[in-house]
Amino acid sequence: MPWHITNNVDEFLSGAGEFLRARPVENTVLLTITDSLRQRGPHVFGDGAAALGWCGDGAFLRTPPRGALLSDMPPAAAAELAVALAGTDLPGIAGPDKVVDAFAAEWQRLTGVTPRLTGRQRLYRLDRLTPPDPPAPGAGRFAEAHDRDLLLNWMTAFQQTLGEGADHAAEFVDDKLSHGGLLLWEDGGRPVSMAGTTRPAAGMVRVQAVYTPREHRAKGYAGAATVAVTRAALDAGATDVVLFTDLDNPTSNALYQRLGYTPIEDRRTVEFPA
């Protein structure tokens, strides 16, 4: 089937919404980004207009200057999408391994540009929450407006550890504070770790921004904060709780599996050097 590409998020959801909601775990990022575009405006992720598209077997979106996010789809559909996007200033893509491979191969054939692997991620879904034993000292509380400066500092540091710019740290923190989407773990009344969640989308909530400053690490705080936000999401009615890890980080992958998260699929990010 042909690809339909638009800058209008409502048109996109009219065409692709049923496809996305049918698999909310695998489509977690596309669902939450389109939700942000609807609620916070078309330029929430940057000045460029978002590009969104769908066919019968897949969907994608792009919020410039970032690359495109691809859903699961047959390799043939991924290759057809590369043809549809040929001639655009696409800096890269991210998606399930086989989808990225098919798109990148066709993109290289069309443009002569050799793709460069820049990241590997693993998607996890909560099976059964298993808190650490013994538990980490302290307790969690949801962040409030008076925590903003601390959260900005931590979010900036977190993004730097990921190799990302911190241009949108303030916007991220303010959005999370607006819906109770950030939790602080405190030990002795002092914040030592944080964890965040997305707004619910099709019954799915994604854990994100799990960060512990270096001086507080190796004490179980990150696991405790993750358990706390996971339990809060379940208590609020979430049917699926998911998260991503860096596939090359054995510590985080082992931690989340101990907490009851099960691997769902692997993804990769590739760039197309200019």
pLDDT surpasses 70 at 166: no
178 pLDDT above the threshold of 90 = yes
What tokens does 206 get?
């994604």
Q: DSSP assignment, residue 43?
A: T
Compute the average pLDDT of residues 146-164: 91
- Judging by DSSP bridges, how do beta strands 68-70 and 92-96 pair with one another? parallel
Please, what is the average pLDDT of the chain?
Answer: 95
What is the percentage of the chain residues whose pLDDT exceeds 90? 89
pLDDT (tens digit per residue) in 79-136: 999 999 999 999 999 999 999 999 999 999 999 999 999 999 999 999 999 999 999 9
Spatial distance between the Cα atoms of 111 and 124, rounded to a whole number of angstroms: 34
CATH superfamily of 126-265: Gcn5-related N-acetyltransferase (GNAT) (3.40.630.30)
Instruction: Examine the pLDDT at 43 and tell me if it is beyond 80.
Output: no
pLDDT at 29 (0 to 100): 97
**What is the reported pLDDT for 9?**
95
State the pLDDT confidence band at 162, using cuts at 50, 70 and 90: confident
| Residue-level pLDDT at 85 | 97
Do 53 and 46 form a contact (C-beta atoms < 8 A)? no
pLDDT at residue 48 in the model: 83
In the predicted structure, residue 258 carries a pLDDT above the cut 90: yes
Mean pLDDT of 170-181: 94
pLDDT of residue 196: 98
What b-and-e string marks burial along 47-66, b requiring 16 or more CB atoms within 10 Å of the CB?
eeebbbbbbeebbbbbbbeb
The continuous run of DSSP H or E covering 167 comes out as none
Query: For 25-32, what is the mean pLDDT?
Result: 98
- Which pairing describes strands 204-211 and 190-197: parallel, antiparallel, or unpaired? antiparallel
Residues 244/261, Cβ–Cβ less than 8 Å: no
Average pLDDT of the segment spanning 47-59: 92
pLDDT band at residue 165 using 50, 70 and 90 as cut-offs: low
Confidence of residue 228 (pLDDT cuts 50, 70, 90): very high
Does the pLDDT value for residue 46 go beyond 90?
A: no
Region of residue 260 (phi > 0: left; psi between -120 and 50: alpha; otherwise: beta): left
Per-residue confidence (pLDDT) for residue 114, from 0 to 100: 96
- Give the percent of the chain with pLDDT over 70: 99
Residue 47: pLDDT over 80: no
Beta strand segments in 3-161, E: 4-6, 51-55, 58-62, 68-70, 92-96, 116-126, 139-142
At 69 the three-state DSSP class reads strand
DSSP, res 201: B
